[in-house]
Amino acid sequence: MSLASVSESGALPVRKRPFARHALPYILSLPALLVCIGILIPFVTAVYYSLMRFRLNLPALKGFIWFDNYINFLSDAAFWNTVTISLVYAFVTVAVELVLGLGIALLLVKPTRLNNLASILLLLPLMTAPALAALMWKLMTNPNFGILSYLVSLLGFTDFRWASDPSTALLTVTLVDVWVYTPFIMILLLAGLRSLPKQPFEAAALDGVPRSFVFFRITLPMLMPYIITASLFRLLDSIQQFDIVYSMTQGGPGDTLMVFQVQSYLEFFQYTNVGRSAALLMVLWAITYFLSNIFIKHWLKLRERARGLS
């Protein structure tokens, strides 16, 4: 299809001025195109910076060094720490959220009044800014007066340090992430569950098929497209997590929570190493680009199906 060809289906009958007919969609989408170009410029700049020795505090050293920033990563323990912690963070949070979200969706699947009220109230954490959610949990885990610190002290953990202890920092930010984003998975899976056809379940009930069998052989396979879409979406966001980690610990204690974006933020503003920061983000971008292509494919398929059902 050439750029100028406008398909007949759905096109409006413009009787006069064929130029206007061809130009109309381009005119309408021009502003959005300009925004795209406006975003592409800094993106290309970032690619360029990632190939440079570029430190804001040492402008004299600025120069093109091809892939040295990337090659240096290979032998850089901090880089591998970032890769590991980002992947662990993403997979742990999404796994917990998926199990919890699916469980809650199954609990709420019947549209009773209590269930509908519950599913509306569960929107609230999701609508809380993640950066502010982290501050809320920071207040609740404060060693002096935090309610959660008090509660775990009743259980015998008198010196539980939450985010300020390297051994529990990941647990703490995971808790915040789970609190904010589980409702997202729940909402998607609930809508998915409610859209499943009724017949297989009625037939299984008539035949007295055990419920575990129904769940693993009917519900789960039919829900799989929703589960995959929701997990991929969350995985994409989670591997880039910045707000929660930065608000809670700024990547600390030490380098315990130095996920990609926090590390590159500090690299840029604290160590003013623009080249290294950009290269780090390019690595993250490669991962997300790969994931987002899979996600978009699944999402479009699901979207087609949902629109077909309506």
Restricted to residues 49-88, the positions that interact with other proteins (CB under 8 A) are 49
**Candidate residues 88, 111, 296, 297; the one interacting with other proteins per rule CB under 8 A:** 296
Q: Distance from CA of residue 270 to its chain's centroid?
A: 26
DSSP output for 255-296: TTT--HHHHHHHHHHTS-BHHHHHHHHHHHHHHHHHHHHHHH
Question: Which segment (68-76, 164-172, 199-207, 264-272) binds other proteins by CB under 8 A?
Answer: 264-272
Name which of 75 and 113 has its Cβ closer to other proteins.
113
Stretch 217-246 residues interacting with other proteins (CB under 8 A): 226, 229, 236, 240, 242-243, 246
Name which of 7 and 75 has its Cβ closer to other proteins.
7
Stretch 6-35 residues interacting with other proteins (CB under 8 A): 6-7, 9-14, 24-26, 28-29, 31-33, 35
**SS3 category, 63:** strand
- Residue 110: CA atoms inside 13 Å, Cβ hemisphere, count? 4
Q: Is 38 in the site for other proteins (CB under 8 A)?
A: yes
Q: Determine the Cα–Cα distance for residues 237 and 198; give it in Å rounded to an integer.
A: 33
Interface mask toward other proteins for 265-284; x: CB under 8 A: x--x-----x--xx--xx-x
Which is nearest to 100 in space by CA: 290, 296, 231? 231
Label the pairing between strands 63-64 and 52-53.
antiparallel
Interface mask toward other proteins for 192-211; x: CB under 8 A: x--x----------------
Alpha helices in the chain (DSSP H): 18-49, 68-74, 77-107, 113-121, 123-127, 130-140, 147-154, 166-195, 199-206, 211-214, 220-238, 243-249, 260-269, 274-309
Question: Which segment (68-76, 197-205, 216-224, 285-293) binds other proteins by CB under 8 A?
Answer: 285-293
Interface mask toward other proteins for 126-155; x: CB under 8 A: xxxxxxxx-xxxxxx-x-xx-x--x-----
- Count of residues interacting with other proteins (CB under 8 A): 105
Name which of 177 and 243 has its Cβ closer to other proteins.
243
